Structure 1
């Protein structure tokens, strides 16, 4: 039995029996025209799929919650416009319900609680309106310029537990788009949270200030009355001198929050200041000198201070959601943040360190879902890339533990997708990645690992698109642009390859300055240098990587890529024969589509190597 998490849209015609009684043939013809001429196209436009049609109803599913709600709004607005010249008693109107839930898949059909809740939500929606569940409201956050009305918890027919329901306003938010003379709903205050400065005097503490910034962005994004700039956009200002008024103009926000973090032993000092970007005036500022164990309380106080200063209404469920800390153990939280920092560097040494950090976080808090997901990621990557002795069943169990603690945690679904990819269960992995992206369309991990999975299967176009999105989400990451260089070359996109190379070299140089002991920036940055025609520097970076990690198999693989591109055939094949049989399945598959090996692909030694590997 296949199950998956999906966004479900259920729609039903208002007063269908009455319309059929007035004009059966006309109603059927009009309904068919609306479906084929408008509704089907809108659903497809938002990457949805019509699951089935009933006499007066539609059931559709979407890989993204945001797409499902956006589609519902466009449907209701479009149908309203189509009805403008139709007599009131002859108008085709729909009620729509949208839910995010677990469904059972049987052929092309889906059923289960997720579908049942969507259908019941549709039943409580207003004519021409949209009702959504709390899980949908949480995931949409501020990604759509919409107004949500909290209707409280409601007991829906044949649904065991009460469901918190929100009505979605289908009116245009901005006055300039309003066709009527009625006043538009009040515009939400907009805010950007800039990366908090690390004032600890230790660059190794950067992970902590970044973690606090991300948590504040996440908490503010849960407030329906605020429009919050996404994390990946805000972090483009990291390590840059900024003028708040310029930031406001560039991002189109009315307010900017900036601050700093100083962590020393068991104490922490956090400062924050909320600034009006129009005039540069301080709206609010405070300093918090506390025990480190109070860090979640500080984040909570900053969020509430902003909400209060901007006179935003905070709904009870939003207040409860903001108050939910990822863990009650600050030491576990610190280990988790450190583990995530190590994981992002990807070299074997740092992956092993990251695994230790996540394991320590779990030891301190056995209910810490994100730490289990981190452990699973490390194990999968070590298995796929470095051929470490890891039991895939155990990795899947770790990811499943994370999901058992938080079924709606995008990181955990992405982790399970990576583990399934490691076991070459690609179709199941695809479903997990889709679940992760439905829950969090801005998940770097889901995009990055889904891209690698696609490339390993030879889906190069899809891999490129996913890597491109990952680069947008984490613009400071040097690895994705460097990986995109060879992918663009494979796709015959030389200018894109050069652009990616410039970006990758710039970011890799910065990483080498910060972490000179890490060979990975030099490993994959050398390929970017080659794309720019800088052959001598590419050789220097390759030599540096091998000097730092002479026994690292991936360092040897990347050096082989460089030598192949330099037409140093024997050096390339010597390294490839040395490392590739010991590397994991993903790396072997990657090599098959890696454009860096085009100069040696027809060499007898290269072909014999892959014959031996394929024969086991």
Structure 2
């Protein structure tokens, strides 16, 4: 029988010297060590370089271990140099059935692969393509301009009685509140994140919907006076756990517990994402019942429309329990600031109530971004431009990633005619709250203001149950003579469908018809809220009906007080009035900043 080829004898020697076994065991063991280090290093606030050291030493140690296995063998007397193979020993290994020869070789290959994969994950993935956005894992080596994105999902209440939902929701909100203050960390707004409460969607689907790279999720379990809270940060692209931790605490002061856990989680989170700087924050204390009422108010205020009435009731209930609870005053200020857009209420009365609540909130907590936003909105409606911008910029400084602050500032920019900037901030608000129909509709309207008609139409068609964008889209289509499409647009918001269909019919009707006469009488009512066609959209309908003088008269009358939807005055639908002799005086009365 001829001698076996050299490569077969080499592999037989590797098996005889147990090099294959060591490769399998070493590779699998180091993969486990690297995965454990990947979780423990950020959780224990250890230097990031430690992870690199573990990976590098593991990779360097692999060939050293293989060389030792080749050279030495373990015996009862310890390590001794491996003797040469006995005559026929290698031939016996080579001639053994494949079922005996292959498994150990495959195990060695698997172990080597695990080691390489573990090292690759620990030391950083290569770029997947030119122009790709840096992933969170690589954020530590990215430039200072890098922005990392995250969504904080509502923590699951896993208590036996299911009665700690207020705490789990509150913890999620406190985490959002602290993270939105961090520069270069983009945080999905509460409205969008909480849309996935009790959802069965997987992490990647949620992240794609919210436009984020990472997702923070967790749970709360209460038993007696003990709390067990878990939290984990997941990279959406591959489900890899970037960080996780478990906290067990006494339920003696839920606000102190929230503060402690939120700070610990945010510190670990920022370190994991490679962002420097620690954000200090405190949670306002109050009675538990007041806190529950406040959380219920927050849930309703985000829905806008009729839900604002319920939000007001809950905020007032919280204040009646604890009149020094600043967040409840801030919530009440926000409700009244947006009331004129959605509820039939005297505008001056709503703005006065909003200002009173906002100033009370700021007296209790000067760092309340929500109160600054509400106050800035009130000043904007009163056309106190410098004061309004100062308050809104202050709010953005306090909470740069707040969807509400960015959205309200975009409206200020729209009011004063800085339309390109207004559209940019509206887009930013939408990016922070991508599932908000309200933000989508407003971004569409502001795209139209900025001259991007294609984007404007696409966005407004997708905005459902948001009357203001439905009104503007319907007017836009009517102005272009696209009446059939306008009738479809009128059905986007059920609350205004009948009114808009009637208005479209009136524009299509002959001059002097009964339909036109009836509509003209209706839209002359200056008390209509904006989401029912009030404010500037009323005068736009008059223009579409060919009533140019009536439109000018209505605008002049509106300027006696706050003019809702002032930014709509810059829409193309108003072009027919710009050469009117009285139009320059209207613009002059606005006293717009230079």
TM-score range, shorter chain: 0.5 to 0.7
Helix, strand or coil at the partner of 2:434:
coil
1:309-358 deviation per Cα after TM superposition (whole angstroms, max 9, x unaligned) = 9988xxxx969x35x212333322222222223222332x3222222222
CA–CA separation in structure 2 for the residues paired with 1:339 and 1:568: 48
**2:545 matched to 1:545?**
no
Q: 1:409 to 1:578 in 2, by over 3 A?
A: same
1:477 deviates by 1.3
2:536 — aligned with what?
590
**Contact kept? 1:457, 1:589, Cα under 8 Å:** no
1:469-500 deviation per Cα after TM superposition (whole angstroms, max 9, x unaligned) = 22122212112332344444454322121232
Q: 1:602 to 1:546 in 2, by over 3 A?
A: closer
**Contact kept? 2:470, 2:490, Cα under 8 Å:** no
Match of residue 578, structure 1, among 522, 543, 548: 522
1:521-544 deviation per Cα after TM superposition (whole angstroms, max 9, x unaligned) = 3664475588697555434445x3
CA–CA separation in structure 2 for the residues paired with 1:350 and 1:599: 32
1:336 — aligned with what?
294
Residues 97-116 of structure 1 aligned to structure 2 (within 5 Å): none
Q: 1:588 to 1:492 in 2, by over 3 A?
A: same
Match of residue 356, structure 1, among 309, 313, 319: 313
CA–CA separation in structure 1 for the residues paired with 2:503 and 2:521: 12
**2:453 matched to 1:494?**
yes
**2:358 matched to 1:399?**
yes
Structure having greater relative contact order (Cα 8 Å, sep ≥ 6): 2
**2:154 matched to 1:196?**
yes
**Contact kept? 2:287, 2:321, Cα under 8 Å:** yes
What stretches of structure 2 of length at least 5 have no aligned partner? 1-134, 562-594
Helix, strand or coil at the partner of 2:389:
helix
CA–CA separation in structure 2 for the residues paired with 1:475 and 1:593: 31
2:386 — aligned with what?
427
CA–CA separation in structure 2 for the residues paired with 1:528 and 1:209: 40
Match of residue 300, structure 1, among 247, 260, 280: 260
2:173 — aligned with what?
214
CA–CA separation in structure 1 for the residues paired with 2:191 and 2:490: 36
1:379 — aligned with what?
336
**Deviates further, 460-469 or 584-593:** 584-593
CA–CA separation in structure 1 for the residues paired with 2:149 and 2:560: 58
1:577 deviates by 4.0
1:346 — aligned with what?
304
Helix, strand or coil at the partner of 1:367:
coil
CA–CA separation in structure 2 for the residues paired with 1:429 and 1:483: 20
Helix, strand or coil at the partner of 2:435:
coil
1:406-463 deviation per Cα after TM superposition (whole angstroms, max 9, x unaligned) = 2222222222112223333233222211222222222333333333344445554443
**Deviates further, 522-531 or 354-363:** 522-531
1:97 — aligned with what?
none
1:75 — aligned with what?
none
Count of aligned pairs: 399
Q: 1:590 to 1:610 in 2, by over 3 A?
A: closer
CA–CA separation in structure 2 for the residues paired with 1:480 and 1:310: 28
Q: 1:268 to 1:545 in 2, by over 3 A?
A: farther
CA–CA separation in structure 1 for the residues paired with 2:472 and 2:508: 10
CA–CA separation in structure 2 for the residues paired with 1:609 and 1:234: 36
1:119 — aligned with what?
none
1:286-321 deviation per Cα after TM superposition (whole angstroms, max 9, x unaligned) = 487987973762563365367579988xxxx969x3
Structure in which a larger fraction of residues adopt strand:
1
Helix, strand or coil at the partner of 1:341:
helix
1:610 deviates by 4.5
Helix, strand or coil at the partner of 2:216:
strand
1:360 deviates by 1.9
**Contact kept? 2:154, 2:194, Cα under 8 Å:** no
CA–CA separation in structure 1 for the residues paired with 2:331 and 2:220: 25
Helix, strand or coil at the partner of 1:273:
strand
- Normalised to the residue count of structure 1, the TM-score between the two structures is 0.50
1:607 deviates by 4.9
**2:403 matched to 1:441?**
no
1:395 deviates by 3.7
Residues 79-94 of structure 1 aligned to structure 2 (within 5 Å): none
**Contact kept? 1:372, 1:401, Cα under 8 Å:** yes
1:250-288 deviation per Cα after TM superposition (whole angstroms, max 9, x unaligned) = 9896x7532246999x99986533457777358545487
1:191-238 deviation per Cα after TM superposition (whole angstroms, max 9, x unaligned) = 94541366699xxx99986653231244467799xx855234995795
- Normalised to the residue count of structure 2, the TM-score between the two structures is 0.52
Structure in which a larger fraction of residues adopt helix:
2
**Contact kept? 2:373, 2:392, Cα under 8 Å:** yes
1:242 — aligned with what?
202
Residues 501-580 of structure 1 aligned to structure 2 (within 5 Å): 501-504=460-463, 508=464, 521=466, 524-525=469-470, 528=473, 534-541=485-492, 544-545=494-495, 574-575=518-519, 577-578=521-522, 580=525
Q: 1:263 to 1:428 in 2, by over 3 A?
A: farther
2:572 — aligned with what?
none
Larger Rg: 2
What stretches of structure 1 of length at least 5 have no aligned partner? 1-144, 146-172, 179-187, 509-519, 551-555
1:463 — aligned with what?
422
1:379 deviates by 2.3
2:49 — aligned with what?
none
CA–CA separation in structure 2 for the residues paired with 1:263 and 1:535: 54
1:600 — aligned with what?
545
1:608 deviates by 5.3
**Contact kept? 2:472, 2:537, Cα under 8 Å:** no
Q: 1:583 to 1:263 in 2, by over 3 A?
A: farther
**Contact kept? 2:333, 2:355, Cα under 8 Å:** yes
2:19 — aligned with what?
none
